[in-house]
Structure 1
Amino acid sequence: MRKQGWTDRLTRLAPGLIDVHTHAIDPDFPDLSQYEGTFPSVERLGPHSARILLGGQLYREVDERCWSTSARIRDMDAEGVGVQILSPIPVTLSHGEPAAGAIELARAQNEFLSAMVATAPDRFLAFGAVPMQAPEVAVDELIRCVNDLGFVGVEIGTRIGDSDLSDGRFRDFFRVASDLSAAVLIHPFDRASDPRIVSAGLTFGLGMPTDTAVAAAQLLKSRMLDEAPDARFILAHGGGSLPALLPRLDRGQLLAGNGEQTSMSTRARKLLCDSLTYDLASLELALTRFGHDHVMMGTDYPFAARETPAGSILADLSDDLRARVSRSNLCTLCASIRPGSNAQHAAKIRADRGAADSRHHTTGG
């Protein structure tokens, strides 16, 4: 989809709120039992309900709102939501599992999300899935999502197995995201938190926002944002605990005395987040830290954690700011997406790698 295609597409979106944080899953989920690893599966209970299993154990019960566009549109119309951006349920990203099954799963999920969008392209957009544990394949799937499927970008977790997002093996992925000016939604997984937090039953309230803050802080410190300046990193859940921690991160940077001139708070203004904070003061803090143009409405539809009615947290914002957060910021992001040929991006990666290898040999590293 060329830039003009996005321009035309934005004019055809239904009026109303745009929800950047919603989830979907195929009730006819692919059978991955032939692959090594612990992958999710879906068991249909009837035409309107199903349950997600992980390792054969119940993970979550879901209903038709996870896959039925007509059911979703009924809810959207009732709450004034014009458009939802669909994304995978984080448990299905499977970043810590063997690559072969994860590759198959990502491709299948993207086909499903594409089919959902196609039923009502004026009401739905999508973030795709990518097998980040296989970075070169993840690059190819990212390009396919943006170029061929017309997605806004992709969703990834806060960690890839035991690796942080700042790990150098993900550099090419983020560079291509930057070339495409694609969005990368960073979403925590509720089974990946510190065992102390899990055992205390605080995963949702403490573990997930902490995981998001750690991932974001590592990206800020690693300079990955400088190497991928046009990638649109969107932090779920209002940026987790990062907005509250930024002043302390700034002081820690100063105490470290490493000569860094740009504060973490300044660098954080390159990030974006959704509005899912459950609290106006927290939303206002996110707006202060990231900027009024870098926060977009998100609800976590259709799960119990979702904000209801959609956009209620925005009611006390000024008219101008509410318009930005509820719609225009996302439209601006989409208008900046710049698809290109797969060959063009692959050639750039090879050239970058060749230059890096040349520097490595020259310096004797």
Structure 2
Amino acid sequence: MKIDVHFHAVPPAFKAAALRAGRGATIASGFPDWSVPGALAVMDRHGIATAITSISQPGVHFGDDAAARALARRCNEEAAEAIAQHPARFGAFATLPLPDVDGACAEVAHALDVLKLDGVCLLASYGERFLGDPSFDPVLRELDARAAVVFVHPNFHPSSRALDTPLPAFLTEFPFDTTRGVTRLIFSGATRRFARIRFILAHAGGTLPYLAWRLSLAPAIDARFAAETGAGILEEIGRFWFDTAQAAGPAVLAALRQVAPADRVLFGSDWPYCPETVLQMTGEAVQAAAASDPAATGIARRHALALFPRLRTQDDR
């Protein structure tokens, strides 16, 4: 029974606030309908024992700090209620009201210390700024102090929205946003300064696995990276966890094996933004990988237990 670390919730309050702000989903059908019973039915059909829910882009901040704090609190308390009702079936990554840093720090404390959620979801960018920008250090410091699990999900960056392209953002702009945010984390030194944070990267890290060797060459090319080493950069990349949402094909999994330990790959579906047909294809791809590679047998469940030990059962011994 799988543990799905990339399983979105779409609370009505979040959906309404985003639509009022003119910030909808990037898929043609818009924000999907969502409910706890509906989610459980999908999970049962696809062998998902536990779903760790998160709020996707555009987050909960639409220009008003107080409104963003209230919406983040409401979403997190609703997630905690779902866990209380179905503790073995749901977990949750808390939503933060970034780019309101003070509000985000307060919500980290409430979500992790009071509500006891399983971690935090950070978007790879907020406004023009990417993760790794020094302005976000206070939030990372709070997360590091708690050795938090942090799920990094792409946002729809303003520069991507300004592009003259007919292609929807989820095809290419989302993976690029993750790549930019994570690369900024590495080269700003944030992954070293806040080394206790355990980062999960959505969609297998965007293009990070493919670019890993290129990034490791930076010290040999540009004096601005003289303080880095290629080996050190690759080591930082290998410390991330990566999910399989829209990234479960053999070429992607083969690339991940080159940059991260086998046990750093986790199952993710991206439901309900990805329909059940894609959830089924993702599960089949992971199953096929496990059939040919013993190291892949833990993707569906076992690898996630290192991050979420509360989900361990007698069958996991």
Q: Does the 8 A contact of 2:133 with 2:184 survive in 1? A: no
Q: Is residue 21 from structure 1 mapped to residue 41 from structure 2 by the alignment?
A: no
Question: 1:41 pairs with 9, 12, 16, which one?
Answer: 16
Pair 1:301–1:250, CA change in 2 (3 A): same
Alignment of 1:1-365 (within 5 A): 16-27=1-12, 29=13, 41=16, 53-55=19-21, 59=25, 60-63=30-33, 66-67=34-35, 69-94=36-61, 97-190=63-156, 192-195=158-161, 197=163, 199-257=165-223, 258-261=226-229, 262-276=231-245, 277-304=247-274, 307-309=278-280, 311-318=283-290, 320-335=294-309
Cα distance change, pair 248–328 in 1 and its aligned pair in 2 (3 A): same
Which deviates the most, 121-130 or 151-160? 151-160
Give the whole-Å Cα distance in 2 for the aligned partners of 1:260 and 1:191: 28
TM-score after normalising by structure 1 = 0.75
The CA distance in 2 between the partners of 1:58 and 1:225, in whole Å, is 31
Worse-superposed segment, 134-143 or 255-264:
255-264
In structure 2, the gaps of 5 or more residues are: 311-317
Please state whether the residue corresponding to 1:311 is helix, strand or coil: helix
SS in structure 1 of the partner of residue 79 of structure 2:
helix
Number of residue pairs matched by the alignment: 298
Q: Give, in whole Å, the separation in 2 of the partners of 1:72 and 1:226.
A: 37
Range 165-174 or range 312-321, more displaced: 312-321
Q: TM-score w.r.t. structure 2 length? A: 0.86
Partner of 1:351: none
**Offset of residue 311 of structure 1:** 2.0
Deviation at 1:296, TM superposition (A): 0.7
Q: Is the 8 A contact 1:97 1:161 kept in 2?
A: no
d(CA) in 2 for partners of 1:153, 1:314: 24
- Bigger CA radius of gyration: 1
The AA in structure 1 aligned to 2:16 is S
Distance change >3 Å, CA 318–CA 119, structure 1 → 2: same
Counterparts of 1:41 and 1:330 in 2: how far apart (Å)? 32
CA distance in structure 2 between the partners assigned to 1:213 and 1:124 by the alignment: 28
Q: Would the alpha carbon gap of residues 311 and 198 (structure 1) be closer, same or farther in structure 2, given more than 3 Å must change?
A: farther
- Conserved? CA contact 2:128–2:157, under 8 Å: no
Aligned counterpart, 1:4: none
- Over the residues paired in the alignment, what is the CA RMSD in angstroms? 2.3
For 1:250, give the aligned amino acid: S
Q: Please give the secondary structure, in 2, of the residue aligned with 1:91.
A: coil
Please give the per-residue CA displacement for 1:259-313, whole angstroms capped at 9, x wherever unaligned. Answer: 4234422211111111121422112212331221211100001223663215222
Unmatched tracts of structure 1, length 5 or more = 1-15, 31-39, 43-51, 337-365
CA contact (8 A) 1:238 1:274 kept: yes
SS at match of 2:99: coil
Give the Cα separation in 1 of the matches to 2:227 and 2:257. 28
